[in-house]
Structure 1
């Protein structure tokens, strides 16, 4: 019995073209399930991910607002925008507002910190905001609506009266 017959069948039963098509389909399916795509997470990782409550500390430098204490309130639900794409809602858990500081050297070489008068005159504040939401936890980290959040990720929050841009300082889950 010949390996290939005159009709191009393997062992007289299987067409080489059919075997090639089946192999191509299998390779594509394996690639979709195992290899990560542009988002960095494969379908297999997303299916095995568990949902947990995640807290993200957001750092905002130089926010220009006349009354930041009454602008951002604990307990508010705000929209989160990660890498310029809307990714759902988060709750504000904690807000720390401070005036930017400058450093000056004393004559004995020690440093002294005091409020930056330029920041005070232009109503600038630095904020540390803690955000909380449910996200998927994969072996790569926290994922909000198919977007990873890691330290340094650009984050915007949008409330009824503001859009504030900052970056992630810490991610806890």
Structure 2
């Protein structure tokens, strides 16, 4: 019995094309699971370091603003979502409610910013300062494998609330 017959089969049973296909699949599987990689890190990342970010929230509609502000106690945690990608938990350092102002035209033609006199305003503006651990890269801060820069829209999610804000400042606390 010949080793290779007319139809290209080994010992009349195994096709050389089938053997080649199995070897290619085996190399792909070995390459995926055993080859060294960057293990999910973005190239150029430094070690994780403490960072602090200010997030501004404008026009958040809420029935009882004082009750909402009490939920943001110092040291509690928030779920942070950056560009629809979960970035993990961050700690609340501080929350500051901003005054609501109106542009009021004056008799001389100028415009003056004055405090909103309406007693039942169901809208809140605030700045939330959060702290967390991120990596400083050439392109900026990476928090939870997602780049975060000033102007980045973020989503703050917790049991009783879910709202959006914008990053207005980033500070690196250690080097």
TM-score range, shorter chain: 0.5 to 0.7
Distance 1:42 1:99 in 2: 40
Counterpart of 1:74 in 2: which secondary structure?
A: coil
Cα pair 1:96 1:128 within 8 Å, conserved: yes
Distance 2:73 2:88 in 1: 18
Unpaired runs of at least 5, structure 1: 1-28, 34-38
RMSD of equivalent CA atoms? 2.5
Which structure carries more helix by proportion?
A: 1
Paired position in structure 1 for 2:69: 69
Cα pair 2:61 2:124 within 8 Å, conserved: yes
For the pair 1:53 / 2:44, whether they are aligned, the reply is no
Deviation at 1:91, TM superposition (A): 0.3
Counterpart of 1:121 in 2: which secondary structure?
A: coil
Cα pair 2:52 2:129 within 8 Å, conserved: yes
Task: Output one character per residue of 1:108-151: Cα deviation in whole Å (capped at 9) or x when no partner.
Answer: 45543223356x53410101111100101112111012111001
Change (3 A) 1:144 1:42: closer
Task: Output one character per residue of 1:20-60: Cα deviation in whole Å (capped at 9) or x when no partner.
Answer: xxxxxxxxx9xx88xxxxx9x853x13xx121111111010
Q: TM-score under structure 1 normalisation?
A: 0.68
Unpaired runs of at least 5, structure 2: 1-34
Q: TM-score under structure 2 normalisation?
A: 0.67
Bigger radius of gyration: 2
For the pair 1:79 / 2:79, whether they are aligned, the reply is yes
Matches of residues 54-133 of structure 1 in structure 2 within 5 Å? Answer: 54-65=51-62, 66-67=64-65, 68-117=68-117, 121-133=120-132
Counterpart of 1:152 in 2: which secondary structure?
A: coil
Counterpart of 2:79 in 1: which secondary structure?
A: strand
Distance 1:124 1:104 in 2: 19
Counterpart of 2:141 in 1: which secondary structure?
A: strand
